[in-house]
Amino acid sequence: MQDHLLLKALRGEPVQRPPVWMMRQAGRYLASYMELRKKYDFFTRVQTPELACEITLQPVDQIGVDAAILFSDILVVPQAMGLEVELVEHKGPYLPKTVQTKADIAALEVDEAAERLHYVYDAIKLIKNALNNRVPLIGFAGAPFTILCYMVEGKGSKNFDSARQFCISKPVEAHSLLTKITQVTIDYLKRQVKAGADVVQVFDSWSGLLSPTDFNKFARPYLIQIADALSVHVPVILYPKGSWYALADLAKNSKAAALGVDWCISPKTARELTGGTITLQGNFDPAHLHLTPDQIREEVHQMIEDFGPQRYIANLGHGITPDVPVDHARAFVEAVKEYRIH
């Protein structure tokens, strides 16, 4: 496993081509996933280890990616902390009871929370056994600020106005909540690693809504805390979506092995900001997967050239969308696999 491309790229070792995987690669663009979706509701799929294993393996077997990523959801953490989370069809996540006050924060369950996610660790063990060292397995969690967004807002949002107002107007409560989420997340990720995860990724999907000043208050300290705690066990990928302004600081001051970047920053700028000192992951726009396979191949090769093939993991800038043809997803992966350093 140590010789695997993904792990070599994360360690900054020379590779003949970059490794490739896709965020949300186990999902709605695959017919086999849709068949399971018809039979089982979302949290049944997440909480049944055999189903989570089957879904995790689908893109490895069908698309040929260089890494598996655990099929789960970032909102299992609020569930484990005692909040109800529903997934409403065509609307997304919904939390009937939100966190608004000191009393709400005090009522959250912390000490046994990660233990309650035993079904995740059971799934990881099944996946590792089924993979049989073909590719590494990536575990993951949502970043504390992103989890706070859902816990305070109670649902998905384009701007998370209530969550940001909560942070600004109630900073003491916000930091208390963020600290509790961080504690549970570190415990949760450590247990994922103990179960067999080879790498962990922390998704800060909504940190780009913050100004640089607010990012430094409400996102940065907790991302660094998680990376520092986990990096002694496995490589850590931090993905602060939209927070391009934080790349230089995180490259220098966190113990992350890699930083994920979205398509709103050029590879050249991302490299310049990080000084070539850290592996970068990204940043193909999923909308471009609707181009022809030949066009995808051309753009993927240009992306690799722009990032440089070393210290680089080819990926999308965010999750693959459900309407992408499977052949186009495969074309993306194959374009990376056929790339050779000149």
Active site residues: 24, 28, 37, 73, 150
- Interatomic CA distance for residues 148 and 154, integer angstroms: 10
Could you give the C-alpha distances from 167 to 145, 149, 160, 218, 223, in angstroms and in order?
10, 10, 11, 8, 16
Give the DSSP per-residue string, 128-182.
Answer: HHHHTTSS-EEEEEE-HHHHHHHHHHSB--SS-HHHHHHHHH-HHHHHHHHHHHH
- Interatomic CA distance for residues 134 and 93, integer angstroms: 33
Residues placed in the known binding site for substrate: 24-28, 43, 73, 150, 205, 318
3-class SS shares of the chain: helix, strand, coil, % to 5: 55, 10, 35
Give the DSSP per-residue string, 53-65.
Answer: HHHHHHHHHHT--
Q: Which is it for strands 86-88 and 92-94: parallel, antiparallel or unpaired?
A: antiparallel
Instruction: Provide the token pair at 29.
Output: 């663009």
Residues placed in the known binding site: 24-28, 43, 73, 150, 205, 318
**Residue 66 · residue 19 · CB < 8 Å:** yes
